[in-house]
Structure 1
Amino acid sequence: MPSSHAEETGLIREIGGWVLRETCRQGRAWLDAGFAPLVLAVNVSAHQVRHDDFGERVDTVLQASGFPPELLELELTESTLMEQRADMVALFDRLRARKIRLAIDDFGTGYSSLAYLKRFPLDILKIDKGFIADISQDSDDREITLAIISMAHSLGFKVLAEGVETAEQLAFLKANGCDMYQGYYRSKPLPAEAFVKLLAPPEPA
């Protein structure tokens, strides 16, 4: 189902709720199985955040699952933050007070105002993969990426680069202070049963 259709029909709220519940359930199961604590990220749509009960829904899921709030990261879009509504600021302050991490996803796509960066209590800024794909050949992409990293760090945010696919891209990012990365260079998306194999300690020789 296209995400736009889910947004228009309101189904995104139920889909998003299921994703949050399943993520926290799986995270709790991994902890109970003895795996090291792992931060799990969940994408959150503007439609979800606009509902008055979003904070309560998150609280309910965390309490029901027993998943530690400090291991949950909610990823928000720039369009969500651009609204800069006072009730959203209060919501994000409440989530942060619970030690839930807040990230801005796909940073640098579609919006020019940066005012929201200083208004919302964010933890992580994720550089859109569009700036990373040609970073080895495109000097403009390199300069933009460097500027984003510098700005984010000056505001106290960690920086994650999306769409890293080559060792050269990763070397540039590491050399210039990028804190984290994701992309096919590390792994393609995996189902839970395959991902858990990455968490397991290697068997003794």
Structure 2
Amino acid sequence: MPIHITLTRKTRIDDPTDVLGRTYFGWDPDATAETNWAANRGHWVLGQRARGERYVLFSFVDDREIVMAAEIDDIVEATDKPGKKIIEGALLQPGHPVYEAFVGQPQPESARVRNPVTYLDVTVGGWLCGCGCGAEIYVGEFVRGHEQTALHQRVARIGTIPEFIRWFDTLEAGQSPETTRATAIAVEGRLELSVTAKGATTLRFTPVPA
């Protein structure tokens, strides 16, 4: 659950006591990411929950797009603003899995609240991409775009897309893909249906002797 912070438009400040030595806070679209990070890593109201997070994301209030991501090293007290905190860490660059997963993406709906500091309900860690490519990812289940690769690989095991759809529909209906043809029974007899513990079904028809 990374920390998410919504930034306002650039606002100039003239405060010689500012411990970060900033001249503005908020998002400046004309400044570098490094300059914006330096201007916005403080001063925030962050409780104990924030200390357990590894990443922080920043989005811009006007276009509701995530514009920066950083890895957190520590969260310290702002000596010039009692009760406020400063984030110490490193700005993430293109190529980092968390940057690729979030920066440039729309701000999540859950973050569109009045409080500028929220926590996103996503898991961020370090595990292998779900498509089987072997790449390590830090959010979600796939490297961006690899979910399509995984899907098409599995469709190909069945055949064409229409064949895959028909196969899937039989599974969803609780039928066995190999026994989906309708059969009409025009004689008297005994019909037996058995179901195993694993869910497999067997249907047996025994006609009555003439």
User: Which fold has the larger relative contact order, with Cα–Cα distance below 8 Å and residues 6 or more apart in sequence?
Assistant: 2
Looking at secondary structure, tell me which structure has more helix per residue: 1
Structure 1 or 2, whichever has the larger Rg, is 2
For the criterion TM > 0.5, the same-fold answer is no
Q: Shorter-chain TM-score: what band?
A: under 0.3
TM-score normalised over the length of structure 2: 0.21
From the two aligned structures, give the one with the greater strand fraction. 2
> TM-score, structure 1 length as denominator?
0.22
